Amino acid sequence: MKRIAILNGPNLDRLGKREPEIYGHTTLADLEKKLRAAFKGDAELLFFQSNHEGKLIDKISELSDAKCDGLVINGGAFTHTSVALRDALLGAHLPTVEVHISNIYKREAFRHTSLTAPACVAVIAGLGLEGYFAAVRFLLKS
């Protein structure tokens, strides 16, 4: 059974409360339950969320050292600003799928650039929470 980690960055702990017109009403805990149910028996899912860049970087290193099979990351705003997060992903050598709940290309111009995308095998944007499910399915087939 593959071990796949799902990392969420800043403000994603506010899902269901923050800008529901963009992100919906489902909480991060609800999403975790739905993902666990959908992939029960197919994957061991590991979840982590932090509003702190360094904690996300530490977790990526930890997952790499633990020989995790894949990573789904929604880096939130760090996607557009963090060279350090990009470097951590590159150094981890984990197949990684970047997920964005909203279509970042229909939003503010600063969201159109992802510093972390070049360190990922795929990017999914604009599918809502379904993007997480698609990312896990992709990693299971890889």
Active site residues: 23, 100
| Residue 90 C-alpha from the chain's centroid | 15
Sign of CA dihedral 34, 36, 37, 38: positive
Among the residues of the chain, which ranges form H helices? 20-23, 28-38, 53-65, 83-92, 130-141
Give the whole-angstrom CA distance, residue 23 versus residue 31.
Answer: 12
Do residues 59 and 49 touch, judged by C-beta distance below 8 A? no
Helices (H) and strands (E) in the chain, counts: 5, 5
Query: Is 67 exposed, middle or buried (CB count within 10 Å of its CB: 0-12, 13-18, 19+)?
Result: exposed
